[in-house]
Amino acid sequence: MAIFVFLSFVLFVLGLSFYLGSKTKTSSGYYAAGGQIHWAVNGIAFAGDYLSAASFLGICGMIATAGYDGFLYSIGYLAGWIVALFVVAEPMKRLGKYTFTDAIDSKYNSRGIKLAAALSTLVVSICYLIPQMVGAGVLVQPLLGLDHYWGVIMVGAIVITIVATAGMASTTYVQFLKGALLIVFSTVLVVAVCLRGFNPRPDQGGRVPFHEPVVLAAQGEGAQLAVTDPGWSVVEVKGVPAAQHAFARLNRGGQETWWLVDAGPAGTRLVEIQSDVATPDGRRLINGAPASKDNALRQVGNLESLRGDTEMPRGAVSPVGLLSALSDRDTRIRRWKEVRFGDADGAKVTAYYPASTPGNLFMRPGLKFKVQGTPLEKFDFISLMLALFLGTAALPHILIRYYTVPSPASARKSTIVAIAAIGFFYILTLFMGSGAAINGVLNPADSNMAAPLLARSFGELLFAVISAIAFATVLGTVSGLIVAASGAVAHDFCDRFLNLGMDDRTKIRAGKISAFVIGAIAIVLGILFKGINVTFLVGLAFAVAASANLPAILMLLFWKRTTAKGIVASIFVGIVASLGLILFSPELYKLYGLDPASAPVPFSNPGIVSIPLSFIALVVVSLLTPKRAPGEPARAARR
């Protein structure tokens, strides 16, 4: 069923691309869909373009594992559209032709701007492509039973086909279709969650038996730890500062498993956890037994109590009732955390352990972003919120959608349709994420699959449809990104910067070749970045976009003293500063396998430093350079 729905959707999308491709004969048709898309269609296509894997997979996953902190992304992503609508939409439409570079360069005709803006488009698009490809890989594992890299390769191949056949025209209709379907079926999923209500032992409608972690009584601590039940023996006890807990390796009947040491006032007890152990001789053990199709990590996430009641009321609940009950301080949600350490035999252990979280903490910021933490942690939070607010209006693949409508008024109206559609979807994410947190559907090793796995708990049909839409979500966004990136290479760099004098046919061919190369790069990066939460990666792409592009856009519109060299300096400083801060941040150090505490940059979100630096660079260089290069005519004079 799932495979049939999925393949039908993919074939339909490809058929549509070939049909539209047969009608695309000009570069305007290829890069901007002829500038004749209706504003309402463009608005939903905006939603399809914008609601990427980060929104559907990443945000829902982060809400499911870190509560309200995931919803901060929904708020920030939506708020960014305010800047896009009120400040950027109409001027971008008025100034540009095919790409963001056209608009930025419209008053200057500067080779430096062409190069800088094309490079910026390429960098931001690739930063944004990585999480989409990671999301694609995550999706195919439960859907088609294929490895992560096959999902990445499939998306890459399909998207290259879509973009290379018809460019922006097919991309627009794929995005329109996917945007509409995503909103409709996310609503269906939220209704299903509310109809199911609460269950302390969620069993996915009887499909997957609920497993309550076993608890063993113990005495002593450290090396003296002993299990009361004589059938168990302690092999080793490992203190893990990163988890602020100790873990015990126990042996029973020759099988070794890991347990959480919980030393409370009532005595010591050992709580069953899940583990993924890579032994020095190359074996992989899940919960003490060899990993196999039948021995995988159990799905987790459930309510321990609802308003203090462990035998909670069953039956349907209203949307407000759902959030209200989850916010209660006497509600307790069992989340699962992850920590990695080495054991005494040299094996690498990844432990997944339960953490009981009160509802009042789950439903407000603080579990991931430490708003009550150190000044540095607060600084990181401000930086994230700033980048999300300013990033949307600077994303090249979003900005090019302003060139697909016939007028500035249409650009404005399509943005409003986008805000309505995207805002509604983001409200749904809070219900989908919290629904996944309490319905026993989460894969403890990968939060990105929260929404599709929640759908599977309601049956294979909903899972098939939601997965096909999630896959289309990746297709739609990746198509837009590859159109933007190929436009930067073929149109901005080859045609305008190198001044190759390309005709319409050559421009289209160059765009298609660029799409192929960029798609191939995206496939490689998608495989390399496997396992990272996709919304976190997109948050970083927003920071790069806000740093590299937004100062140039705003100052071009609002500061008459802005010069071409100022814009070039701003873009380069924005790219270098944001990427530099990200590459040496604690989160990336984790990815490199290094100690995050040793990262030279002490925070993970660079926007609060890199965005002002980019503005400063623009102002200083503009003040130091003449307004217009000698001999360079004004645009008005040319007309």
Partner 1 sequence: MFHEPSVSAGKDPAQNYKMRLGVWMVLSYSLFYAGFVAINLLRPMLMEKTICGGLNLATVYGFALIGVALVQALVYNALCNARERKLDVPQAPAEGR
Task: Tell me which residue of 9, 23, 15 sits closest to 166, measured CA to CA.
Answer: 23
Q: Using an 8 Å Cβ cutoff, are 373 and 76 in contact?
A: no
Looking at 44-52, 381-389, 436-444, 465-473, which segment touches partner 1 (CB under 8 A)?
A: 381-389
Q: Is 194 in the site for partner 1 (CB under 8 A)?
A: no
Compute the half-sphere exposure of residue 175: CA atoms within 13 Å on the CB side of its CA: 37
- Under the criterion CB under 8 A, does residue 35 sit at the interface with partner 1? yes
* 383 binds partner 1 per the rule CB under 8 A: no
Out of 62, 95, 246, 466, the only residue in the binding site for partner 1 (CB under 8 A) is 95
Among 228, 295, 356, 360, binds partner 1 (CB under 8 A): 360
Q: Does 39 bind partner 1 (CB under 8 A)?
A: no
Nearer Cβ to partner 1 (352/431):
431
Q: Which is nearer to partner 1, 76 or 526 (CB)?
A: 76
Q: What are φ and ψ of residue 44, in 5° steps?
A: -70, -35
The two beta strands, 289-290 and 226-227, are unpaired
The 405-444 site mask, x for binding partner 1 (CB under 8 A), equals -xxxx--xx-xx--xx--x--xx--x--------------
Residue of 292, 372, 630, 631 that binds partner 1 (CB under 8 A): 372
| Interface residue with partner 1, options 6, 232, 352, 403 (CB under 8 A) | 403
**173 Cβ contact partners less than 8 Å away, ≥ 6 residues apart:** 16, 20, 45
Q: Compute the least distance from the CB of residue 83 to partner 1, in Å.
A: 6
**Binding characters for partner 1, 517-556, by CB under 8 A (x = yes):** ----------------------------------------
Which residue carries 């209660």 as its tokens?
A: 328
| CA-based end-to-end distance of the chain | 60
363: which 2 tokens?
Answer: 């439903």
CB of residue 329 to partner 1, shortest distance in Å: 7
Tokens of 334: 């069992």
501: left (phi over 0), alpha (psi -120 to 50) or beta: left
The dihedral sign for the CA sequence 204, 359, 367, 608: positive
* Closest distance of CB 479 from partner 1, Å: 19
- Of the candidate residues 57, 64, 90, 478, the single one contacting partner 1 (CB under 8 A): 90
CA distance 203 to 440: 7
Instruction: By CB under 8 A, name the one of 6, 9, 30, 68 that touches partner 1.
Output: 68
249: which strand partners? Answer: 236, 258
Query: Interface with partner 1 includes 573 (CB under 8 A)?
Result: no
Q: Which long-range contacts (CB under 8 A, 24 or more apart) does 105-113 make?
A: 105/496, 106/635, 107/556, 107/635, 108/563, 108/564, 108/567, 108/628, 108/632, 109/632, 109/635, 110/564, 110/565, 110/567, 110/568, 110/629, 111/497, 112/564, 112/565, 112/568, 113/564, 113/567, 113/568, 113/571
Binding window for partner 1 (CB under 8 A); candidates: 143-151, 179-187, 321-329, 582-590? 321-329
Taking the least distance from each CB to partner 1, the nearer of 91 and 354 is 91
Which of 41, 54, 102, 135 lies at the binding interface for partner 1 (CB under 8 A)? Answer: 102
How would you label 408-442 residue by residue, b for 16+ Cβ within 10 Å and e otherwise?
Answer: bebbbbbbebbbebbeebbebbbbbbbbbbbbbbb
- C-beta of 571: minimal distance to partner 1 in Å? 18
Interface with partner 1 in residues 329-358 (CB under 8 A): 329
Map residue 108 onto helix, strand or coil. coil
State the residues that interact with partner 1 by CB under 8 A: 28, 32, 35-36, 68, 71, 74-75, 78-79, 81-83, 85-87, 90-91, 93-98, 102, 105-106, 109, 320-321, 323-325, 327-329, 360-361, 363-366, 371-372, 378, 381-382, 385, 389, 403, 406-409, 412-413, 415-416, 419-420, 423, 426-427, 430, 496, 499, 557-558, 635, 638
